[in-house]
């Protein structure tokens, strides 16, 4: 088999699987870590997907009593403004819903948690994975 035919076959397989040179055709996948500590205001480890301006995924955080799993939902609005909500069903978490805002950037973007009564604002940097 000639090299160009093999290369064309590999390229066709990647495109069929949803891969494009600029990310995944079915969605962009992002990961990042926020600021925080191990007390009442832990850092968040984000694993999210962006598809058709909708954001979904999970986050985890480490408290002094153990880890909590969070559901992440949000969207990218006009002007690339991002709004996210992290929510957990874990009864040990004192503030189970948190709001985050930021601006989408196709390379690296930052979201900031709205300050709560017990925690200063946390900031997460998200990058394509």
Q: Is residue 17, in this structure, part of any structural domain at all? A: no
**Residue-number span of the structural domain to which 115 is assigned:** 26-128
Domain assignment present for residue 57? The answer is yes
In a domain, 89, yes or no: yes
Query: Residue 48 belongs to a domain with what CATH number?
Result: 2.40.128
Residue 49 lies in a domain: yes
Percent of the chain residues past pLDDT 70, beyond the cut: 79
pLDDT score of 38:
74
Which among 73, 69, 117, 78 has a CA at the least distance from the CA of 99? 73
Dig out the tokens for 42 from the structure: 């832990």
H or E segment and range at residue 6: helix 3-16
Tens-digit pLDDT profile for residues 31-48: 999 999 877 889 999 999
Average pLDDT, the chain: 84
Considering the entire predicted model, what is its pTM?
0.77
What's the rounded Cα separation, in Å, for the pair 55 and 74?
5
- Beta strands per DSSP E along the chain: 19-20, 23-24, 28-34, 44-51, 54-63, 66-76, 81-87, 97-103, 108-113, 123-128
Q: Mind listing the pLDDT tens digit for each residue in 69-108? A: 999 999 999 999 999 999 999 999 999 999 999 999 999 9
Q: How many domains does the chain have?
A: 1
């Amino acid at each position: 088999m000639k090299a160009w035919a093999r290369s064309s076959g590999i390229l066709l397989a990647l495109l069929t699987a949803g891969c494009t040179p600029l990310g995944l055709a079915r969605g962009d996948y992002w990961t990042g870590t926020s600021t925080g500590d191990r007390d009442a205001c832990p850092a968040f480890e984000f694993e999210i997907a962006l598809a058709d301006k909708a954001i979904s995924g999970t986050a985890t955080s480490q408290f002094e009593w153990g880890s909590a799993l969070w559901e992440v939902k949000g969207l990218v609005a006009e002007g690339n403004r991002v709004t996210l909500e992290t929510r957990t069903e874990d009864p040990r978490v004192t503030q189970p819903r948190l709001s985050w805002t930021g601006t989408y950037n196709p390379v690296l973007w930052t979201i900031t948690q709205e300050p709560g009564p017990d925690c200063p604002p946390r900031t997460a940097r998200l990058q394509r994975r």
